[in-house]
Amino acid sequence: MTQDVDSRSRLARLLAPRSIAVVGGREAEEVARQCDRIGFSGDIWPVNPRRAEIAGRACFASVAELPRAPDAAFVAAPREAAITAVAELAARGANGAVVYASGFSEAGAEGATLERKLVAASGDMAVIGPNCYGALNYLDGVALWPDQHGGARIKRGVALVLQSGNIAVNLTMQARGLPVAYVVAAGNKAKGDFADYVEAFLDDERVTAIGLHIEGLNDAEALDRAARRARELRKPIVAIKTGRSEAGAALTMSHTASLAGPDTLYDAFFARLGIARAPDLAVFLETLKLLHVYGPLKGRRLSSMSCSGGEASLMADLAPAHGLTTPDLPGSAREALAAALGPKVAIGNPLDYHTYVWGEFEPTHAAFSAMLAAGYDINALVLDFPRADRCDGSNWETTLAAFEAARAATRAPAAVVASLPETMPEAIAVRLVAAGVVPFNGMSEALTAMRLAAEISEAWAKPAGAPLRPAAEALATRPSRMLDEAEAKAALARFGLAVPAFRVAPIAKAARAAQDLGFPVVVKALSAALAHKTEVCAVRLGLRDAAAVEQAAAAMAHLSKRVLIEPMKEGALAELIVGVTRDALFGLALTVGAGGVLADLIDDHATLLLPASREEVEAALRSLKIARLLDGYRGAARGDWSALFSSVEAIARYTEAHHHTLIELDVNPLLVFAAGSGAVAVDALIRLSEEAL
């Protein structure tokens, strides 16, 4: 359950306290030492009835003996004793506590019971943890942290919130020049969720960007609200979400559920909010570094310079693979570059400026200035520095100084890209950040970070869209019923979805029903128990006379006493799947993709959280590979895009009207014909809860 406004102010005070109580032994002593090391200027009060002093400070025998209620406490005691200590702190009027102990909800049912007791004992206090390392505040000099860490005091930087304590420790050791303002190892998040930390950091003007390491969310709706506020304040968020391989959604019955698994829903959630999703920790840090220096990029147009043809070729190859463009140079930039570099250098983008001007400040500065003035969204200089322990890097100084001067004069977004992470020395990285230049550790990492920074701008440029609807309680565990195909099609048709003119008939009257419709026809066994008919031979296509219909219907008698008969629809340009699933965290989600047999054969789908706008639906449909078939691929007719959009909107209207009971919905395939000829749903599956939320 996410905290209220007063609790968030308590959290902010916990992160920036003026007084700290350290409760326990060895770990409590280490917290006191780390606070001294980082320059904490407030009071530190050790609490330990069995020790006379901790870190040079006299111990108090109990929390009740403290001079006053502390702003923060670090509780380093076993789990039962930690609950007692937290209760005593709450009774004393303490503002908040970090609970270091493990063995709570991460340890099973008994631990979960103890965690509930911990929350109850804490009263109105803010709590970080349990099962966590705590928090570091490098802005104000606070180390609620029982271990070494690699950070240092700064004046502004990024805030990191991580569920893993070990990852948090590791990230404090980064040597990439990234200024880190806060590190929070949140652990079990017994009180509050990521949204509370985001809100706290949004209120701190010294925080330039926020990074989240997420193993799981407790409250997606709260993070939705916090991220919308971050967008309003233009404070970007980067997330790394672990658990891509989880396949919980495969347990449901429709094809769509296997596509819209939990990780896909996180992708959809991040995309709608403009939260950049980093694939790994290296890109996570590099993206935050770019956002710290410049914020989101205005676009994906990249210029690249290097004194090597090999590096220029690598950038030319990798940029489009990472979603960036390297447009040609404008004429004025070409002329200026040619004047600076001479006739032996082929002018282009990416630019190999050779080594003719290496070590000469003026022509190098002129060339860099010309490129930076050309109007690109970001300008990269590929420059790897030699090992300081074996080599002399003084000759690189001229190039570096020329690039810094060009950046200062043009104010254009600029980056120095080391092709390998280890060839960007930390001292150089720190210097570049101070000069307003992004130092990138690794070429691929740099290009991915640029794309993610541009994606944030693209998301922010779109309308914010509807807030996420609370997921409420999952319906999957409640009694449910599956509609048979005839019921599902009739229900969707009432909301405007085009379906074939079908007949339902007993086996013996199948041929007569087919004659009434006209041949050729499709015959299907009709039963709510048949979620996937093809696998059990419950579908026969293209039947052209009464005898064929009688034979097909008789062969299905063991599956159902009734059959559904409809005209055979031929000549479709594409088959799509459109489905809706319900998730306990995110609520209802819409998936569109390649349908029919292609739904299982190719990875071509897009997922949106509902409610979604028509613009979002159209963008999702046009992002599909199969969309090329509807755009007149290789001279074929164009598809009926308007009918396709209307079909998906009809499904969305049905979903909205039944959002209290709908568990899953699948239309597969939705046939799309040539422009002006419409779109028709030839199969449908709907499962509803028998109880409303």
- Cα separation, 250 vs 194, whole angstroms: 27
Please, is 250 exposed, middle or buried when counting C-beta atoms within 10 Å of its C-beta (0-12, 13-18, 19+)?
Answer: exposed
Provide the pLDDT for residue 245.
63
501 CB-contact burial (10 Å; exposed 0-12 / middle 13-18 / buried 19+): exposed
Alpha-carbon torsion, ordered 504, 507, 508, 513, to 10 deg: 30
d(CA 6, CA 185): 22
Q: How far apart are CA 522 and CA 544, in angstroms?
A: 9
CB neighbours of residue 611 within 10 Å: 18
Q: Is 263 part of any domain?
A: no
The answer to the question of residue 399 being in a domain is yes
Residue 633: predicted pLDDT: 86
Write the CB contacts of 531 (distance below 8 Å, at least 6 apart in sequence).
253, 254, 482, 685
pLDDT digit string, tens, across residues 548-580:
999 999 999 999 999 999 999 999 999 999 999
Q: Is residue 280 packed enough to be buried (19+ CB in 10 Å), middle (13-18) or exposed (0-12)?
A: exposed
The CATH number covering residue 236 comes to 3.40.50.720
| Alpha helix segments (H runs only) across 274-343 | 281-293, 309-321, 331-341
**Is 525 a member of any domain?**
yes
pLDDT on residue 647:
97
State the CATH number of the domain containing residue 561.
Answer: 3.30.1490.20
Report the alpha-carbon distance of residue 444 to residue 339 in Å, rounded.
32
Identify whether residues 583 and 526 lie together within a single domain.
no
Specify whether the CB–CB gap between 674 and 601 falls below 8 A: no
In 375-447, the DSSP E strands lie at 378-382, 414-418, 438-441
Question: End of a domain among 461, 487, 514?
Answer: 461
To the nearest 10 degrees (0 to 180), the angle between helices 109-122 and 79-92 is 10
Q: What is the CATH number of the domain that holds 662?
A: 3.30.470.20
Residue 415: strand, helix, or coil: strand
Q: Which runs of E-coded beta strand occur in 77-144?
A: 96-99, 126-128, 134-137, 142-144
**Of the candidates 131, 312, 162, 299, the residue with the CA atom closest to the CA atom of residue 238:** 162
User: DSSP letters of 611-650?
Assistant: S--HHHHHHHHHTSTTHHHHBTGGGPPBB-HHHHHHHHHH
Q: Are residues 550 and 583 in the same domain?
A: no
Residue after which a domain boundary falls, among 217, 242, 267: 242
* 88 plus 178 within the same structural domain: yes
Contacts 24+ apart (CB under 8 A), 617-623: 617/590, 617/592, 617/645, 617/648, 617/649, 617/652, 618/645, 620/590, 620/592, 621/592, 621/645, 621/648
List the structure tokens of 543.
Answer: 């039947």
Residue type, 73: A
Instruction: Please classify residue 126 by burial: count the beta carbons closer than 10 Å to its beta carbon, then call 0-12 exposed, 13-18 middle and 19+ buried.
Output: buried
Task: Dig out the tokens for 368 from the structure.
Answer: 């860099």
**Angstrom distance (rounded) from CA 649 to CA 657:** 12
185, 221: one domain: yes
- Give the bridge partners for 43, in sequence order: 19
The residue type at 251:
L
CATH number (domain holding residue 369): 3.40.50.261
How far apart are alpha carbons 85 and 73 in whole angstroms?
A: 10
Q: Where are the beta strands (DSSP E) in 230-329?
A: 237-241, 276-277, 302-306
Q: What is the Cα–Cα distance from 299 to 637, expressed in whole angstroms?
A: 34
Amino acid at 184: V
Indicate if 332 and 440 belong to the same structural domain. yes
Asked, for residue 673, whether it belongs to a domain, the answer is yes
Are 531 and 411 within one domain? Answer: no
Three-state SS at 54: strand
**Residue from 483, 579, 565 nearest 527 by CA:** 483
Q: Which domain holds residue 647?
A: 574-689
pLDDT < 50 stretches in the chain: 1, 246-255, 693
Number of domains in the chain: 4
Same domain? For 392 and 311 the reply is yes
pLDDT for 8 equals: 79
- Token couple for 227: 């991220």
Q: How many CB atoms lie within 10 A of CB 124?
A: 14
Same domain as 206, residue 234: yes
343 and 433 housed in the same domain: yes
What sign results for the dihedral spanned by CA atoms 480, 483, 488, 494?
negative
Angle between helices 546-555 and 510-517 (to 10 degrees): 140
Query: Cα(328)–Cα(335) distance, rounded to whole angstroms?
Result: 13
Measured between alpha carbons, how far is 586 from 382 in angstroms, rounded to an integer? Answer: 42
Please, what is the end-to-end C-alpha distance for the chain in angstroms?
19
The answer to whether residues 209 and 314 belong to one domain is no
Cβ contact 191:222 at 8 Å: no
Residue 586 lies in a domain: yes
Which phi and psi angles does 46 have, rounded to 5°? Answer: -75, 140
Confirm whether 479 is domain-assigned. Answer: no
Same-domain pairing of 10 and 40 = yes
Rounded Cα distance, 423 and 425, in Å? 6
Q: With CA atoms as reference, report the closest residue to 242 among 182, 185, 323, 162.
A: 162
Cα separation, 590 vs 606, in Å, equals: 8
Examine residue 487 and state whether it is found in any structural domain, yes or no. no
pLDDT at 530: 84
* Alpha-carbon distances of 499 from 559, 567, 672, 676, rounded to whole Å: 23, 10, 12, 16
Task: Tell me, yes or no, whether 257 lies in a domain.
Answer: no
173 and 26 inside one domain:
yes
**Among candidate residues 567, 588, 622, the one where a domain is terminated:** 567
